[in-house]
Amino acid sequence: MNRNEKKYKKVWLTIGIVVAVLVALIGAGEAYFFNVAFTPGEKSVLNKYSHNTKKDPLAAKKKWYAKVKKQHWYMKSATSDYRLDANYIPAKNSHKTVVILHGFGNNKDTMGSYAGMFHELGYNVLLPDSRAHGQSQGKYIGYGWPEKYDVRKWVEKDIAKEGKNQKIVIFGVSMGGATTMMTSGIKMPKQVKAYIEDCGYTSVKDEFLHEAQDLYHMPKPVATVAVDLLSLISKGNLGFYLEDASSVKSVKKNDKPMFFIHGGNDPFVPTKMVYANYKADKGPKQIWVAKKATHARSFETYPKEYEERIDQFLSKYL
């Protein structure tokens, strides 16, 4: 082997090592982000948006929820055969039921204030733990896309237990809001009369792109590549690309009343997303942007107005 051949061999060996290192680093990075995004466990990324309120205007409702007697309901998930858990709180002589869907990294008990509000309005309350959250089983978090079929099964279970005269509302906050919108795009029992979503994202891909730039400070081109790679991993593990899990595409198929709520100062799910969701919806619809509220804080920021607006909306259809 002459000197030039040795030189080229050394150059290509160096390039090969650099490429291998880059692939390993990218793979490790994507594995980290997949774990943070899709696997169960405590989510430290939420700490950036957490805050302490000296006086909690919803404290009485949370206290009521903690003390009220609850029925424990269980069922198998619509796919993957997971055992799912829920609390059910009946209201006196009521045929109105609300299914309350929690957000990413939370569980049914974090929705106690909403349960208190709806119960005061005369609704039976069903609070499921989403798969891979709370006391429900699950290998991965699906951000509403597979969970929408679980919501339908909970509705069918409610009808089977409580009777065909039920009038049912689907309500969700954050990831639960997106799940609500995604659920509106599939065939649901006729007993479902209305949907209410609070601060849900337009699609999982859109939300991941936002978080990659906002939480991890990635330049947009880098964030786009990273999310596209994560989308491929999602397809391999969960069966869907991130762009498939779209609230916008789902509400285009909806013909039931939908109330869209969003904080006007939301840094986590940008407020602009609610306008895209609202515009796409094909059913009777209403929108309220709670001007000073941050992410998932519209009820806390405007407790009286929040309840009044929901009551007025539902009174039209139930």
Can you give the residue range of the structural domain that contains 26? 1-36
50 within domain boundaries: no
pLDDT-derived band at 140, boundaries 50, 70, 90:
very high
The token pair at 97 is 């039921």
219 within domain boundaries: no
| Whether 74 contacts 134, CB under 8 Å | no
Q: What is the dihedral of CA 231, 236, 237, 243, to 10 degrees?
A: 30
* 187 secondary structure, DSSP code: -
- Looking at the fold, whether 307 and 167 belong to one and the same domain comes out as yes
pLDDT tens track for 89-115: 999 999 999 999 999 999 999 999 999
pLDDT tens track for 263-312: 999 999 999 999 999 999 999 999 999 999 999 999 999 999 999 999 99
- Looking at the fold, whether 14 and 105 belong to one and the same domain comes out as no
**Residue 44, number of CB atoms within 10 A of its CB:** 9
**Residue 47, number of CB atoms within 10 A of its CB:** 8
What angle is formed at CA 59 by the lines to CA 58 and CA 61, rounded to 5 degrees?
Answer: 70
- Looking at the fold, whether 194 and 148 belong to one and the same domain comes out as yes
**Distance separating alpha carbons of residues 182 and 173, to the nearest angstrom:** 13
- Looking at the fold, whether 127 and 5 belong to one and the same domain comes out as no
Q: Which of 263, 269, 252 is closest to 287 using CA atoms?
A: 263
**Distance separating alpha carbons of residues 122 and 98, to the nearest angstrom:** 10
16 within domain boundaries: yes
pLDDT tens track for 47-86: 555 555 578 999 999 999 999 999 999 999 999 999 999 9
What size, in residues, is the chain? 318
Please check the confidence at residue 240 and state whether its pLDDT lies above 50. yes
- Looking at the fold, whether 295 and 176 belong to one and the same domain comes out as yes
**Distance separating alpha carbons of residues 239 and 41, to the nearest angstrom:** 21
pLDDT at 210: 96
Q: What is the mean pLDDT of the chain?
A: 90
First vs last Cα of the chain: how many Å apart?
85
